[in-house]
A = this chain, B = another copy of it.
Amino acid sequence: MDWIWYSRYIMNRSNLQQTTPAQEQCTATPLGHAIRLLGDEWILLIVMHLLPGPMRFNALRTELGHISSKTLSQRLKGLEELGFIRRDAFLEIPPRVEYQLTEQGQELGAVIEALEQFGKKHLSGQKPTSCSPCALDTE
């Protein structure tokens, strides 16, 4: 019975890879943009820790655990360019830089809250599955 699938495959293989119909809808809309923004583990984590108030660079690093300075400064720069956080650098010895959420950034709190509600409701005692490739030691 292989020929059934085979023939269909051959007949339909002509024009299948060309049409990219809703792809731009997935990436060009504000929602798509937002999804790609939050499609990064660190972004939300950073915003979450910034919600209570301003924080310094290394304080963030400590709170976030094992993030590298490269990754952190990357994300912070990105968030700053988007206007979601503000960077205040004090030219002192030793240097001090504080990051805090702008009004726009604060509104991400709503998303985080929704996320938290959801997490508490459905992900409480669950163990990671194939969705969570987290290999962190839980000592």
Contact = CB atoms under 8 A, between A and B. Distances in A.
A136 interface: yes
9 contacts: A20-B66, A21-B63, A33-B123, A34-B115, A39-B41, A39-B44, A78-B131, A82-B129, A113-B114
A8 B4 CA distance: 73
Greatest chain B CB density within 10 A among A36, A63, A129 is at A36
Contact of A34 (B34, B39, B64, B119): B119
Interface in A42-74: 43-45, 48, 62-66, 74
A36 B82 contact: no
Contacts of A62: 19, 21-22
Nearest to A130: B78
A4 to B, nearest CB: 7
Interface string A84-113: 100000000110000000001001101111
Nearest to A8: B94
